Amino acid sequence: MFRKQEKVFSAVAMLQIIVFFTVILIAIYAYSLNQLQPFHAELDKTLKQFDKLSKQIEIIAQALPRRTESKLIVNEIARLTKELQHRQKVKDALSNGSFGSTDGFSGYFEALAKAHISGTWLTGIHIAQGGAMLSFNGKSIDPELIPIYLKRLSKEPVFNKRAFNILEIRRAEAEPELLLFNVATGG
């Protein structure tokens, strides 16, 4: 405890180390500055060109007349917007079924043709309210063929969900050997 302790770093040694690192850092800074000098010159040159071009753009922009909205374009946009709204309304009406079926009528005609039985033939088909109302008339030479024809129709997918609640069968006045039939949805 009372012995004289040796100092590892004296104040002079510490000062020499600080001076040494300061000289090294100054040398590194000078080297880096020397290496970046060409880039600084290029940056200054590019900034001057940018300023020059910006001024030219301002001069040209002031020389050009101001754009105004063309009445023709505004009117055309308004017309097309109205047409788009109208088409959207039509699309919505067709989509929700307010005009009837959007599937078309070819399925009905195809089913009527598939169910055909020799000895019967159709004389009229009436489709109304987008397919909601359907009736057809026909002739037959045999009264037993009419129920068979209707049974075949009921097996067709397009008529599966269709309820026919009117069936009329009568003899033709002009040709008593023929039976006339009428099948229709109610309503």
Pairing label, strands 120-128, 166-171: unpaired
Q: How far is CA 45 from CA 18, 22, 38, 54, 163, in A?
A: 40, 34, 11, 14, 88
Residue 4 forms part of a structural domain: no
Tens-place pLDDT, residues 150-180:
888 888 888 777 777 888 888 888 888 888 9
Side-chain-facing half-sphere of 98: CA atoms under 13 Å: 7
Asked if 72 and 90 sit in the same domain, the reply is yes
* pLDDT value for 187: 58
* pLDDT value for 99: 58
Tens-place pLDDT, residues 30-74:
999 888 888 888 899 999 999 999 999 998 888 887 777 788 888
Q: Which domain, by its residues, includes 141? A: 106-184
Residue 133 forms part of a structural domain: yes
Asked if 147 and 164 sit in the same domain, the reply is yes
Residue 119 forms part of a structural domain: yes
What is the domain-level CATH number for residue 141? 3.30.70.60
Asked if 119 and 133 sit in the same domain, the reply is yes
* pLDDT value for 176: 83
Residue 23: pLDDT above 70? yes
Highest mean pLDDT among 6-10, 32-36, 94-98: 32-36
Asked if 147 and 176 sit in the same domain, the reply is yes
* pLDDT value for 104: 67
* pLDDT value for 1: 62
Q: pTM (2 decimals)?
A: 0.44
Neighbours of 99 (CB within 10 A): 14
Residue 1 forms part of a structural domain: no
- Please count the structural domains in the chain: 3
Asked if 151 and 130 sit in the same domain, the reply is yes
Q: How confident is the model at residue 117 (pLDDT cuts 50, 70, 90)?
A: confident
Minimal CA–CA distance to 139: which of 117, 152, 122?
122
Residue 7 forms part of a structural domain: no
Asked if 166 and 176 sit in the same domain, the reply is yes
119 contacts: CB under 8 Å, gap ≥ 6? 140, 141, 142, 145
Is 93 or 184 the better-scoring residue by pLDDT?
A: 184
Residue 102: pLDDT above 60? no
Asked if 82 and 110 sit in the same domain, the reply is no
* pLDDT value for 97: 60
Residue 55 forms part of a structural domain: yes
Task: Compute the mean pLDDT over every residue in the chain, rounded to the nearest whole number.
Answer: 84
Give the residues across from 70 on adjacent strands. none
